[in-house]
Chains A and B, each alone.
Chain A
Amino acid sequence: MMKGLKKWRLFSLLAVMTVFLSACGEEYITTLKPTGAVGKEQFNLLLFSIAIMALVTIVVSVLYLYAFMKARRSKLGEDYMPKQVEGSHTLEVIWTVIPIILLLILAVPTLISTYKFADVKAMDKVDEEGNKTALTVNVTAKLYWWEFEYPEQGIVTAQELVVPTDEKVYFNLKAADVKHSFWIPAVGGKMDTNVENVNKFYLEFGEESADLKDGVFYGKCAELCGPSHALMDFKVKAVDRNEFNDWVAAMQATEGATASAESTDLGEQTFANSCLMCHAVSGVGASGAMGPNLTTFGDRNRVAGVLEHSKESLEEWVKDPEAIKPGNLMTGKYGELSDEEISAVADYIMGLSIEE
C-alpha cells in the first residue's frame, strides 16, 4: 500500500514537472521568456510572488492534510467526541501577523515597479537642438488593426511595429473607435488604448527579433473589441539602432509615393481606383488613416494580421474580408473586383517594399 502510494507520488510529481517544463511557451509570445528590462522585471516579480505564494500554499496544505489525516472518523471510531474548542487568540494573532509581513514584503517591489513603469518624463526630453532624445511611437488601435506613427520622424506604418533594441521606446496609446489594449507579451505588460484619452508607457526590446521563428514578436489586442478581437494581432520587428535608422530613412524616402490610375500595370490601376482612398503607399504622414498603411506590405509577416504572408492569402482576403475578419470595416468599401483585378492588385501590394 505505502509502496504503491510512493510510486503514485513520483508519477504525479513527474507529470507536474513535465507540465511546468512544457509550460514556458514560444519565445515570440510568452511572458515566461521575456526580453527587455520591463518584461524581465515583471517576470522577476512573477517569480518572487510565486515563491511567497508557494510558501503560503505549502504551509496551508501541510496543515490541512495533517489535520485531516489525524481527524478521520474512520480511524478515531464512530463514537469519538472531540473537545469543543472555542478558538485561540495566539493563533489568530500569528496567522494575521505573518500574512501581513509577507504582503508587506511583496508590496515593496510592487510599489517600486508601479512608479517606475509609470515614469514617462523622458518622453519630453530634448537635446540642444530641440530634438526629442527618446523614440516615441503613437499607437492607434482601430477595429481590428493597429496604426503606428513615429511623430518625430514623420512616418507612419501599420500592423508591423519596427523598433530599435536596447533603448526605452515610449508609446502614446489611443483607440479610434472602441476600447482595445496594446500587449506584446514577450516584451512587457499591456496598457489599454482608451477612446477618450492618451495613455503613455514605455517598453524595452532586449534582443533583435530576427532570430525568432517568424523574425518578429507577436502583439495582441487584450480587450474584447468585437467579433474579430481574437484576430487583432500585430507583429513587432526589433532591430539594432543602425538598422532602425536605415529603416526610418527608407520610409522617409517614400514621400509622395502613390498609385496612378493611369498606370499600365493593372494592379496599380486597380489599387488607385479601389484601394488608395483608404490605404496609403507612402510611409510619410501621420496617423488617422481609414485603412492600414501599405508602404511596407511586402516586408511584413502576415496578411490582415493572421493569414500567411502569400499572394494567395491576400487574394482570399480581398475577395471576402468578412469571411476572415467578421465585423471589419473594409468589407463592401471597394465594389466588385474581377479575379483578374484581384490577382493583379495582390501582385502590386505584395511588391510594396522598402527593404530591397
Chain B
Amino acid sequence: MSSAAVTNKKGFGATLWDYLTTVDHKKLGVMYLFAGTLFFAIAGFEALLMRLQLMIPNNDFVSAGTFNELLTMHGTTMLFLAATPLLFGFMNAIVPLQIGARDVAFPFLNSLGFWLFFLGALFLHLSFFLGGAPDAGWTNYASLALYSPGHGIDFYVLGLQISGAGTLISGINFIVTIITMRAPGMTFMRMPLFTWTSLISSALILFAFPPLTVGLFLMLVDRMFEANFFDHTMGGNTIIWEHLFWIFGHPEVYILVLPAFGLFSEIIPVFARKRLFGYSSMVFATILIGFLGFMVWAHHMFTTGLGATANAIFAVATMAIAVPTGMKVFNWIMTIWGGSVKVTVPMLYALGFIPSFVAGGVTGVMQAAAPLDYQLHDSYFIVAHFHYVIVGGIVTAIFGSMHFYWPIMFNRALSEKLGVWTFWIFFIGFHCTFFIQHFLGLMGMPRRVFTFQADQGWDLFNFISSIGAILMAIGVILLVINIIITAKSKPLNCRDYWGDGRSLEWAIKTPVPFYNFKQTPLVRGYDPYWLEKHEGNKEGMIYAEPLGDIHMPNNSILPLVMSIGTFVAAFGALYHPDGKAWAIPVLILGLAITVGAMIVRSVKDDLGFHVHVEEVIATEEHLYGKGGNK
C-alpha cells in the first residue's frame, strides 16, 4: 500500500477501492467535504422550495405535509449532515498538519466515523422514497413526533442515531489526537486557534451527543415497542424530550460555531499579516464558551412554562455567553488594527462574517431577555437570528476556508474572480433573505408555517426574503462551478500558497505526501512556520528527528462493512412495528455483520506498515523533483 502513493495513475476501480478503504486523514477530509457539500446542496434546495412557497400569500406550490417534511429535513440535514461534516472535513484535513502529526490517533475509527455518518445520512434521506420524510421539525418534539403517522420519525431517529455515533467517534478521535499527537515543542499554548477550537468542540461532542443518543433511544423504543417514555396518557412526559434534545441541541450550536471561529482566527492573521491579537484570551474565551454552552439550554424553552426562577437563571446565564463571544470579536478587530490587510476571497468572507455575526449575536442577547422572548420565541425573529449565526458565522467560515485551504487539500487554487462574485451574490442574498425576517417575526408571523393569509402586513417582506433566497442559491451554484473548473486547473506544487502562512500546515509543500511531514518538525514558538520563515529558514521547518522509516496504518474495508451492518439493521428496526416477518431477521443480520466485522478487527492483528527511508526519498522526488520537500 505504501507504493500506492508513488504510482502515477490508477484505474477507476482501484481509486474507488482506495477511497472506500482509506484511513488517511487527508482523504477522509476530502470525503467529508464532498459528502457535506452534497447534503448542503440538498438542504439548500429544500430551503429554496420553502421560500418559493412563502413568496406569496396562500401559495400552493408545495402542500402542507410536504412543507413540514422540507422544514424538518432542511434543519436536520444542515446541522447534522452538512455543517458538521464540512467542519469535520477541515478538522481532518488541517488539524493533523497543524500539530505536525502523521495522522489522527485512531485512523481506523476516523474511517468508521465517516462511514457511519454517511450511511446514517443516506438512510435518513431514503425516507423521501420510502413513504415520507420526518415532519416534526428538527427538534422533533415528542408529542408531535409520536402522533406523526408513517415511518418519517423512525427514519429520523435511526438515521441520527447512526450518524450521531459516527460524530461521537470522530469527536473522541480528535480529542485524543490533539492531546497526544502534537509535535515536539507544540505545547498547548502554542497550538493554533483552529486546533484549539477543534479540541473544545470535540469535547462538547463528547458531552452533548450522549443526551441526544439517550433521547433518540427512548423515542425509538417508544415507537418500536410502545414503551411510553414520552406518552403522557401512559405516565410519560414530553418535556423530558425537550430537555434531552436541548441539552444536546444548544451545545450543538457551539460544536459548529467554535471551529468556525477557529477557521476565522486562522484566516484573519494570515491576510492581516499580523499575529492573532490576544491569543491567550481567545483560548480562554473558547473554553468559557464551551463551558457556558452547557448551562443555557432552557433558553429554548422559556415559553414551555418552567417557571419564573428557571427562566431568570437561564436568561442571565445566556446573557453571560455574550461576554466571551464579544472578546473574540474585539480580538479579531484588533488583529486587523494596524495590520496590512489583503482582501482575498477568504478574507472577504472573514470581513463579511464579523458584522453578520455581531448582528446575530445581539439578537441572541435580546432573546435571552426571557419576557421579551415570550414575543420572539417561535416567530420569524428567531428564524432570522439563528440564520444570522449559522449562515453568517458557520457557512461563511466554510466557504472562506474552502478558498483558504483548497491549495493544501487539493494542490489547486479556487478562482479568486469567481470567488468574489460568489461572495457578493451570496452575502447580499443572505442579508436580503434574513434581515427582513426579524421584522416579520416582530409583526407577528410564527415560524414553521407552510403558508400565510394575505393582509397581515407580511406580503412584501416575504417576497423580498424569497428573492434573497434565490440569490443565495445562485451564489452556491457559482461556488460549485468554481470547484468544477478548479478541478481542471494546473496543480500548484508550492508551499505557503498565500505567502503569509503562519502555522505548521503552510510549512509543508503541496501535494502533501500521504505521511505528511517526512520528519516530525520541531516547534519553537507560536506561529512556528512564520517564526522559521522570518529567521530565513529556507527548508520550511527544522526537524525534531533524522530522516527515518515512517510507521503508517493499513487501509481497511472493515469500517465500511461495520457501517453497512448498522444500515441494514436499521431497516429491520424500522419495519418491525409493521409486523413484517423479515424485520427481525434483517435486524439480526445487520447487527451480525457489524459484530462480525468487529470480531475480525479484534482477532486479526493489524500493526500497520513501515515506509522505508528509500521509499520516502523516492516519494519526495516523485512529488517535488530532485531535492524533495525543501
Q: What are 14 A-to-B residue pairs whose CB atoms are below 8 Å? A: A46-B366, A53-B363, A64-B354, A82-B339, A85-B274, A91-B334, A95-B330, A114-B308, A178-B147, A179-B238, A196-B238, A200-B305, A224-B137, A231-B451
- Is A72 at the interface (CB under 8 A from chain B)? yes
- A115 / chain B contacts, CB cutoff of 8 Å: 308, 312
Complex Cα distance, B465 from A23, in Å, reads: 14
- Is B495 at the interface (CB under 8 A from chain A)? no
B64, B338, B458, B461: the one within 8 Å of A326 (CB): B64
B68, B342, B366: the one within 8 Å of A53 (CB): B366
- A85 / chain B contacts, CB cutoff of 8 Å: 274-275, 277, 334, 338
Given the known inter-chain contacts A185-B444, A326-B65, please indicate yes or no for A114 contacting B141, CB distance below 8 A: no
Proximity string of chain B (365-379) to chain A, C-beta cutoff 8 Å, 1 when within and 0 when not: 110111111110111
Shortest distance in angstroms between B352's beta carbon and chain A's nearest beta carbon? 11
Among B232, B305, B312, which residue has the most Cβ atoms of chain A within 10 A?
B305
Q: Which of B59-73 contact A (CB under 8 A)?
A: 63-65, 67-68, 71
- Is B548 at the interface (CB under 8 A from chain A)? no
- A151 / chain B contacts, CB cutoff of 8 Å: none
In the complex, residue of chain B having the shortest beta-carbon distance to the beta carbon of A45: B372
- A80 / chain B contacts, CB cutoff of 8 Å: 273, 340
- Is B477 at the interface (CB under 8 A from chain A)? no
**Is B312's CB under 8 angstroms from A194's CB?**
no
Q: Which of B441-485 contact A (CB under 8 A)?
A: 442-444, 446-453, 455-458, 460-461
- B585 / chain A contacts, CB cutoff of 8 Å: none
- B272 / chain A contacts, CB cutoff of 8 Å: 71, 82
Given the known inter-chain contacts A25-B457, A197-B305, please indicate yes or no for A190 contacting B378, CB distance below 8 A: yes
- Is A278 at the interface (CB under 8 A from chain B)? no
Given the known inter-chain contacts A19-B436, A42-B374, A103-B319, please indicate yes or no for A227 contacting B312, CB distance below 8 A: no
- Is A218 at the interface (CB under 8 A from chain B)? yes
- Is A84 at the interface (CB under 8 A from chain B)? yes
- Is A267 at the interface (CB under 8 A from chain B)? no
- Is A17 at the interface (CB under 8 A from chain B)? no
Given the known inter-chain contacts A49-B366, A81-B273, A194-B305, please indicate yes or no for A183 contacting B446, CB distance below 8 A: yes
**Is A111's CB under 8 angstroms from B312's CB?**
yes
Shortest distance in angstroms between A192's beta carbon and chain B's nearest beta carbon? 5
- A173 / chain B contacts, CB cutoff of 8 Å: 305
Complex Cα distance, B456 from A60, in Å, reads: 35
**Is A30's CB under 8 angstroms from B444's CB?**
yes
- Is B303 at the interface (CB under 8 A from chain A)? yes
Shortest distance in angstroms between A293's beta carbon and chain B's nearest beta carbon? 23
Interface SS, B side? helix
Given the known inter-chain contacts A42-B375, A103-B365, A118-B308, please indicate yes or no for A195 contacting B323, CB distance below 8 A: no
- B557 / chain A contacts, CB cutoff of 8 Å: none
- Is A135 at the interface (CB under 8 A from chain B)? no
Q: Which of B314-360 contact A (CB under 8 A)?
A: 315-316, 319-320, 322-323, 326-327, 329-331, 333-334, 336-343, 351, 354-355, 358-359
List the one stretch of B78-86, B112-120, B214-222, B278-286 in contact with chain A: B278-286
- Is B493 at the interface (CB under 8 A from chain A)? no
**Is A76's CB under 8 angstroms from B377's CB?**
no
Number of interface residues of B (CB under 8 A): 94
Shortest distance in angstroms between B106's beta carbon and chain A's nearest beta carbon? 35
Interface magnitude class on chain A: 35 or more
Complex Cα distance, B377 from A117, in Å, reads: 16
Given the known inter-chain contacts A67-B337, A111-B315, please indicate yes or no for A230 contacting B451, CB distance below 8 A: yes
Given the known inter-chain contacts A23-B439, A45-B369, please indicate yes or no for A88 contacting B278, CB distance below 8 A: yes
Complex Cα distance, B368 from A49, in Å, reads: 10
- B278 / chain A contacts, CB cutoff of 8 Å: 86-88, 91-92
Proximity string of chain A (168-202) to chain B, C-beta cutoff 8 Å, 1 when within and 0 when not: 00000101011101010110111110111101100
Complex Cα distance, B355 from A343, in Å, reads: 59
On B, residues with C-beta under 8 Å from A are: 63-65, 67-68, 71, 135-137, 141, 143-144, 147-148, 232, 237-239, 272-275, 277-281, 303-305, 307-308, 311-312, 315-316, 319-320, 322-323, 326-327, 329-331, 333-334, 336-343, 351, 354-355, 358-359, 362-363, 365-366, 368-375, 377-379, 436, 439, 442-444, 446-453, 455-458, 460-461
Given the known inter-chain contacts A19-B436, A222-B446, please indicate yes or no for A188 contacting B375, CB distance below 8 A: yes
- B443 / chain A contacts, CB cutoff of 8 Å: 23-26, 29-32, 185
**Is A22's CB under 8 angstroms from B460's CB?**
yes
**Is A92's CB under 8 angstroms from B329's CB?**
no
Complex Cα distance, B308 from A191, in Å, reads: 13
Complex Cα distance, B331 from A91, in Å, reads: 9
- Is A341 at the interface (CB under 8 A from chain B)? no
Given the known inter-chain contacts A30-B444, A114-B370, A115-B312, please indicate yes or no for A194 contacting B323, CB distance below 8 A: no
Complex Cα distance, B370 from A109, in Å, reads: 10
Q: Compute the total of residue contacts between A and B using a CB distance below 8 Å.
A: 304
17 further A-B contacts with Cβ under 8 Å, apart from A23-B443, A195-B232, A230-B452, are A25-B456, A42-B375, A49-B365, A50-B366, A56-B362, A57-B362, A67-B334, A67-B336, A85-B275, A87-B281, A88-B277, A106-B365, A110-B312, A191-B305, A229-B68, A231-B64, A326-B63
**Is A41's CB under 8 angstroms from B65's CB?**
no
**Is B336's CB under 8 angstroms from A229's CB?**
no
Complex Cα distance, B443 from A42, in Å, reads: 14
Given the known inter-chain contacts A87-B279, A96-B323, A194-B239, please indicate yes or no for A72 contacting B343, CB distance below 8 A: yes
In the complex, residue of chain B having the shortest beta-carbon distance to the beta carbon of A116: B371
Complex Cα distance, B372 from A189, in Å, reads: 7
Shortest distance in angstroms between B552's beta carbon and chain A's nearest beta carbon? 37
**Is A41's CB under 8 angstroms from B371's CB?**
yes
**Is B336's CB under 8 angstroms from A68's CB?**
yes
- B280 / chain A contacts, CB cutoff of 8 Å: 87
- Is A73 at the interface (CB under 8 A from chain B)? yes
**Is B374's CB under 8 angstroms from A189's CB?**
yes
**Is B379's CB under 8 angstroms from A222's CB?**
yes
**Is A110's CB under 8 angstroms from B279's CB?**
no
- A153 / chain B contacts, CB cutoff of 8 Å: none
B141, B365, B446: the one within 8 Å of A220 (CB): B446
- Is A63 at the interface (CB under 8 A from chain B)? yes
Q: Which of A319-346 contact B (CB under 8 A)?
A: 326-327
- A87 / chain B contacts, CB cutoff of 8 Å: 277-281, 331, 334
In the complex, residue of chain B having the shortest beta-carbon distance to the beta carbon of A60: B358
In the complex, residue of chain A having the shortest beta-carbon distance to the beta carbon of B337: A67
Shortest distance in angstroms between B384's beta carbon and chain A's nearest beta carbon? 12
- A194 / chain B contacts, CB cutoff of 8 Å: 238-239, 304-305
**Closest 5 A-B residue pairs measured CB to CB?**
A189-B374, A25-B443, A185-B444, A230-B449, A118-B308
Complex Cα distance, B601 from A188, in Å, reads: 61
Given the known inter-chain contacts A45-B372, A76-B340, please indicate yes or no for A99 contacting B378, CB distance below 8 A: no
Complex Cα distance, B365 from A99, in Å, reads: 11
B273, B334, B358, B439: the one within 8 Å of A19 (CB): B439
**Is A64's CB under 8 angstroms from B65's CB?**
no
- Is A289 at the interface (CB under 8 A from chain B)? no
Complex Cα distance, B549 from A181, in Å, reads: 65
Among B358, B369, B371, B451, which residue has the most Cβ atoms of chain A within 10 A?
B371
**Is A100's CB under 8 angstroms from B323's CB?**
yes
- A46 / chain B contacts, CB cutoff of 8 Å: 366, 372, 375, 442
- B366 / chain A contacts, CB cutoff of 8 Å: 46, 49-50, 53
Complex Cα distance, B371 from A64, in Å, reads: 32
**Is B333's CB under 8 angstroms from A223's CB?**
no
- A23 / chain B contacts, CB cutoff of 8 Å: 439, 442-443, 461
